[in-house]
């Protein structure tokens, strides 16, 4: 590897960044490979952080952090962080807004004018900070930040080399950024499992499969009364809090959130490898997690569980598709949810779920007529 002062080094690094081999590299491998080559050329890097904004209502940015001692790792930034002092006024925000280079020595910071993140970097041993704009093909600006722990900071030819490499770094990372943005957005609206299937090519109407799964349906009690007592903004905020309680609980147990239906939540826990007990236990644990945090919901809610075959995939019209589950199992769970309210129970389940659970986990509530069923159905209460 050539030295920093070699005029051919920039070309060599750019060829490596945009070469055909990069298409098979992860963003972490690209950043680690770049760091390794710069270090071999004599640049005393301490940290590289490349952050990329994404079109996602939950994630504000994602990126790669490389440190000399720890290597490269991916990270995400929740969207709410972009409204805090951690981002506002930071070098990253400045570079994105001005689309220009930013450099600051970390050896003579001022409490009056320098952002807290610069002080944090100085405390870790960094002596100099350089942040550069990376322009993507759509005109968006991302940021690559480099620090060194060399006394006196970066040399002038090192900074010039980093500036020269920005277009190649952007070209190397943009395809991965676009894939990440698309996939993360699909996960927000479809759930992890469905997003993976769609990315894998299951996006045509009729791309469905039958799977066995535990189905969870949650629903607020007296939603009509709640909507009459609260203003629309308050109602939406309250619904958001309730959905967060249920969704977080289901995701913690590996469930896919497939649908919000009014004030209802539909989630599935696929049976993998024929493990019916495992799928049902995950649904029960999600129920327990959710109800344990019911105080964060604007009103109490009920949960119903059933296990059985569901049709899982794309359904809809030729120009409007939905990724969901349908079938008698979902209908049964929906009817159980209504029965939970009638019986005054927080959580109920079908015999299929009760039989998969340990002894004492449920209580037999007898047989009841469920809407749409010709014969009475046995209902169990979950002992939470």
What average pLDDT score do residues 189-194 get?
A: 60
pLDDT for res 239 = 85
Percent of the chain with pLDDT over 70: 85
- Buried/exposed 216-230: b ≥16 CB within 10 Å, e otherwise: bbbbbbebeebbeeb
Give kind and range of the element (H or E) at residue 325: strand 320-326
What average pLDDT score do residues 122-148 get?
A: 93
Q: Is the pLDDT of residue 23 over 80?
A: no
Query: What confidence category does residue 174 fall into, taking pLDDT thresholds of 50, 70 and 90?
Result: confident
Spans of all domains in the chain: 9-190, 203-382
pLDDT for res 140 = 87
Partners of 362 in the beta sheet?
382
Nearest of 339, 359, 355, 358 to residue 347 by alpha carbon: 339
What average pLDDT score do residues 149-165 get?
A: 94
- CA atoms within 13 Å, Cβ hemisphere of 163: 13
Query: How many CB atoms are closer than 10 A to CB 206?
Result: 10
Flag the least confident range among 37-51, 100-114, 201-215: 201-215
Q: Is the pLDDT of residue 345 over 90?
A: yes
> Rounded to an integer, what is the distance from CA 303 to the centroid of its chain?
25
pLDDT for res 55 = 65
Flag the least confident range among 224-238, 283-297, 353-367: 224-238
Alpha carbon distance 36, 41 (integer Å): 9
Convert the pLDDT of each residue in 82-111 to its tens digit: 888 888 999 999 999 999 999 999 998 998
141-148 vs 45-53, strand pairing mode = antiparallel
Full-model pTM: 0.62
Flag the least confident range among 202-206, 288-292, 322-326: 202-206
CATH architecture of 203-382: 2-Layer Sandwich (3.30)
pLDDT for res 256 = 86
Query: What confidence category does residue 154 fall into, taking pLDDT thresholds of 50, 70 and 90?
Result: very high
pLDDT for res 240 = 84
- Which residues lie closer than 8 Å to 362 by C-beta, 6 or more apart? 349, 353, 354, 380, 381, 382, 383
pLDDT for res 196 = 61
Question: Which numeric CATH code is attached to 9-190?
Answer: 3.30.450.40
pLDDT for res 186 = 56
Query: What confidence category does residue 237 fall into, taking pLDDT thresholds of 50, 70 and 90?
Result: confident
What is Dmax (Cα atoms) for the chain? 84
Higher pLDDT, 322 or 146: 146
Alpha helices, DSSP H, located in the chain: 9-18, 27-40, 91-98, 116-123, 156-190, 192-199, 223-229, 232-252, 276-292, 328-343, 351-354
Query: What confidence category does residue 226 fall into, taking pLDDT thresholds of 50, 70 and 90?
Result: confident
What average pLDDT score do residues 253-259 get?
A: 86
The two three-digit tokens of residue 124, written as one number:
């870790």
Percent of the chain with pLDDT over 90: 50
What average pLDDT score do residues 11-38 get?
A: 85
What average pLDDT score do residues 152-179 get?
A: 89
- CA atoms within 13 Å, Cβ hemisphere of 259: 19
CB-based burial of residue 111 (10 Å sphere; 0-12 exposed, 13-18 middle, 19+ buried)?
A: exposed
Nearest of 47, 7, 12 to residue 31 by alpha carbon: 47
pLDDT for res 146 = 97
pLDDT for res 24 = 73
What are the angstrom distances between the C-alpha of 336 and each of 259, 263, 280, 351, 357? 17, 16, 16, 11, 18
- Which residues lie closer than 8 Å to 111 by C-beta, 6 or more apart? none
Query: What confidence category does residue 75 fall into, taking pLDDT thresholds of 50, 70 and 90?
Result: confident
Q: Is the pLDDT of residue 205 over 60?
A: no
Give kind and range of the element (H or E) at residue 52: strand 45-53
pLDDT for res 52 = 83
Convert the pLDDT of each residue in 5-18 to its tens digit: 677 888 888 888 88
Query: How many CB atoms are closer than 10 A to CB 87?
Result: 19
């Amino acid at each position: 590897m050539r030295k920093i002062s070699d005029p051919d080094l920039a070309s060599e690094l750019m060829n490596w960044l945009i070469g055909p081999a990069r298409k098979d590299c992860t963003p972490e491998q690209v950043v680690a490979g770049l760091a390794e080559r710069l270090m071999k050329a004599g640049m005393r890097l301490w940290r590289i952080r490349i952050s990329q904004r994404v079109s996602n209502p939950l994630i504000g940015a994602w990126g790669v952090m490389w440190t000399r001692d720890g290597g490269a790792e991916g990270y995400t930034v929740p969207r709410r962080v972009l409204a805090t002092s951690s981002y506002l006024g930071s070098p990253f925000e400045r570079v994105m807004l001005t689309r220009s280079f930013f450099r600051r020595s970390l050896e003579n910071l001022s409490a009056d004018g320098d952002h807290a993140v610069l002080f944090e970097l100085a405390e870790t041993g960094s002596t100099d900070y350089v942040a550069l704009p990376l322009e993507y093909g759509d005109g968006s600006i991302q940021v690559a930040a480099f620090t060194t722990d060399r006394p006196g900071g970066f040399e002038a030819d090192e900074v010039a080399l980093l500036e020269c490499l920005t277009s190649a770094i952007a070209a190397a990372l943009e395809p991965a950024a676009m894939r990440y943005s698309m996939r993360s957005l699909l996960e927000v609206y479809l759930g992890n499992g469905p997003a993976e299937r769609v990315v894998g090519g299951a996006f045509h109407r009729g791309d469905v499969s039958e799977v066995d799964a535990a189905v969870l349906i949650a629903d607020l009690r007296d939603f009509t009364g709640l909507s009459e007592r609260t203003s629309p903004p308050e109602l939406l905020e309250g619904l958001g809090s309730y959905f967060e309680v249920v969704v977080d609980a289901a995701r913690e147990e590996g469930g896919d959130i497939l649908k919000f239906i009014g004030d209802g939540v539909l989630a599935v826990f696929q049976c993998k490898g024929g493990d019916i007990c495992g799928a049902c236990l995950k649904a029960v644990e999600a129920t327990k997690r959710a109800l344990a945090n019911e105080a964060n919901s604007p009103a109490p809610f009920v949960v119903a569980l059933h296990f059985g075959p569901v049709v899982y995939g794309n359904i809809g019209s030729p120009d409007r598709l939905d990724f969901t589950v349908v079938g008698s199992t979902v209908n049964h769970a929906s009817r159980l949810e209504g029965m939970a309210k009638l019986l005054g129970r927080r959580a109920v389940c079908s015999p299929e779920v009760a039989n998969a659970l340990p002894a004492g986990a449920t209580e037999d509530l007898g047989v009841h007529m469920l809407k749409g069923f010709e014969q009475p159905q046995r209902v169990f209460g979950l002992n939470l």
